[in-house]
Structure 1
């Protein structure tokens, strides 16, 4: 099949699976010791970073060195930034209400339930979503124009995510804004600049694989699954359900794009 080293790629997937599983099991042990399952959110970004590093290590001598280094660095930068941001944001806080609600309905041992429904599931998702990062390590040809477009899309995504998180942190740190909806900066163009940023990051990483159409077709499930998670799963949909009853949210949602950045709608003019 088009000269792609599928056997080596398969072995790399096995190594990546072991890395993702190790991160989740270590995080689970720490979470049980602390009685705080919210730290699994920190492991999400960290697991992607480790998968990229392991994939880079085990693919030595297989693919184009420039592509291998590019996709690894981009993934590690994204994963480490996300993990550090979530760790800083959650310092000193108790359990996340999402996990508290989920685990309150558990039958039997809560920790075992969390292991199966949170940690192992997230580990499997890390493995699936990161397939383009793993596949890029084995593409022998040099980087083409589409790959560089992918790097540019990744950069746009990281900027949206990092700037959006910074703007939100500044807004919420001001006591005068307590209880108010963040509707400034990037948040006036999209209700979820951080999720849109993730969307761009993973489609950008996928484009780096597209120099090999067969490898791209085999791994397109990665960005598709991430997109569904961001828009229909634990991202936008779940967060907006949680915020729906907050004062001012309906008005904010009425004038602000739900996902893709667009100029905010003008408030209707009162007749006079």
Structure 2
């Protein structure tokens, strides 16, 4: 199947998914809590995308959900909370800009790199196979539901900014904006460097140039940094609530450190004989100068 045909099918799934989520928000039962309304709509869309994944026979149908869902929810919270007194529009606008820049960059990256429905993320099949007869459960829970919930946790600070009164704009908002814009820029550069390397690499050669010489996963570092920027926005608006506004950032960091990176590194060690040398010299996530050989 061509990439164009694949994108048309996935696009139809997302049109139905977010149409259903929007319908719930507009005509569904009101919970009296904007965060809960958003969560239920999020879960509705996730279920539809899961059904689409099973129908198309490819769980990578879910992959763009990571970057498509956040702007949907933050725009909903922004519009729904406009009649609440005390909302800082300046901070809300800055947060919206950060989220939209990140979402456009990441979705564009997926559109550029995803070859089509003949390709599925290498991590998904083993998850289903290891679950045996419960493969469909593993597919829904591990590949669809858990990432949805982690992303929602990451958006909790955004909800705090968009739907609750907060402190006036301050220096921490500047830091959050710089980090939030800098993160997708760093990811863009890292991805461009990797694409250039892939065109000329030798069989089994490991990437250790540019940003990849300072971090084995600079793209993941940028992703984690983006979610921490949202936490910084939340803390800027409600410093006394910092202890629960960092939960999403902690969850994101734990997921990348405990799941995504180990799986990628195991695969790299199997396919690239020199990758152990890279591990010995180059930092795992946070960039810094590499050790000498």
If the length of structure 2 is used for normalisation, what is the TM-score?
0.81
Q: Cα offset for 1:247?
A: 1.3
2:286 is matched with 260
Do 1:257 and 1:264's aligned partners in 2 also have CA atoms closer than 8 Å? yes
Is 2:122 aligned against 1:100? no
From 194, 213, 216, the equivalent of 2:242 is 216
Do 2:46 and 2:144's aligned partners in 1 also have CA atoms closer than 8 Å? yes
Is 2:74 aligned against 1:56? no
Distance in 2, matches of 1:187 and 1:72, equals 29
Q: Which moved more, 1:100-109 or 1:144-153?
A: 100-109
Matches within 5 A, 1:110-259: 110-137=135-162, 138-174=164-200, 176-211=201-236, 212-233=238-259, 235-245=260-270, 246-259=272-285
Distance in 1, matches of 2:47 and 2:108, equals 19
CA deviation map 1:116-140 (0-9, x unaligned): 3321222211211211111111234
CA deviation map 1:51-77 (0-9, x unaligned): 222221222133111111211221122
Distance in 1, matches of 2:142 and 2:223, equals 23
CA deviation map 1:87-120 (0-9, x unaligned): 3212234222210111113343644441233212
RMSD of the alignment, in Å? 2.1
- 5+ unaligned residues in a row in structure 2: which ranges? 1-30
CA deviation map 1:154-204 (0-9, x unaligned): 222222211111111221133x44432111110011101011111221112
1:6 is matched with none
Do 2:101 and 2:181's aligned partners in 1 also have CA atoms closer than 8 Å? no
1:72 is matched with 96
Give the paired residue count.
257
- 5+ unaligned residues in a row in structure 1: which ranges? 1-8, 268-272
1:13 is matched with 35
2:14 is matched with none
1:36 is matched with 58
CA deviation map 1:198-243 (0-9, x unaligned): 122111221112221133333210111111112122x222211221
